[in-house]
Amino acid sequence: MALSIKIGIQNTKSAMYVTDTTGDYNAVSNPGGWGTSNPARGGTIVMNVTQPDGTVKNIDLPTTFVTTSPYTADLTNVAFSGGPITLIDGVYEIEASYTVSSVEYTYTAYSLRTYNLNCALGKLALSDLTKTEYAELKLEYDRMVQAFECEDYVLANEILADINEMLVDCNGTGTLNCGCGC
């Protein structure tokens, strides 16, 4: 079987990490992995990151991204050519393009970043917001997560925009200033 690139994405308060999860070749459990009958780890790696605001960052990662464990890169790292990405809530599309021995392999992954929204909802849950108002916000949040999980990324971003509109009333500025302090 041919090399089958895979990446994973993890969000934290101050970073977005991308990890090569392709794994090593195993004829039974991972025939699309690195090595043996497939190319060895290496090559040129470019990540085209489309941020929720539509900005596209073309980030060139060093070969060590796939050759040195833990095979992880912080996309907010200013040292990478084309970086860093901007951390805002919403859906990110990351297209990984690996060129190994003149052959290009691609993989596209999506990530829903909701750090600021989660923080704001947590603060609002503890505020004097009525149960009905909070329940409505929480329902919209759950709808957004479901839309993302069903791979309807446009709808997930639209619901996030609706939630931000609903939160403008909390302070006039949206999710980032609802007493969150994040």
Each residue of 5-23: pLDDT tens digit? 999 999 998 999 999 999 9
Sign (positive/negative) of CA torsion 164, 168, 172, 177? negative
Q: What is the pLDDT of residues 49-99, one digit of tens each?
A: 999 999 999 999 999 999 999 999 999 987 888 878 999 999 999 999 999
Residues whose CB is less than 8 angstroms from the CB of residue 28 and which lie 6 or more positions away in sequence, other chains included: none
| pLDDT at residue 140 tops 90 | yes
- What span, in angstroms and rounded, lies between the C-alpha atoms of 165 and 163? 5
- What span, in angstroms and rounded, lies between the C-alpha atoms of 146 and 2? 33
Q: How many residues can be counted in the chain?
A: 182
| pLDDT at residue 113 tops 80 | yes
Angle between the N-to-C axes of helices 131-149 and 115-125, in degrees from 0 to 180, rounded to the nearest 10: 160
- What span, in angstroms and rounded, lies between the C-alpha atoms of 148 and 89? 13
The pTM (predicted TM-score) of the whole model is 0.87
Residues whose CB is less than 8 angstroms from the CB of residue 76 and which lie 6 or more positions away in sequence, other chains included: 14, 15, 16, 83, 84, 85, 87
Query: What does the block give as tokens for 68?
Result: 């040195």
In this structure, are residues 85 and 16 in contact, taking their beta carbons and an 8 Å threshold? yes
Domains of the chain, by residue range, sit at 7-112, 115-177
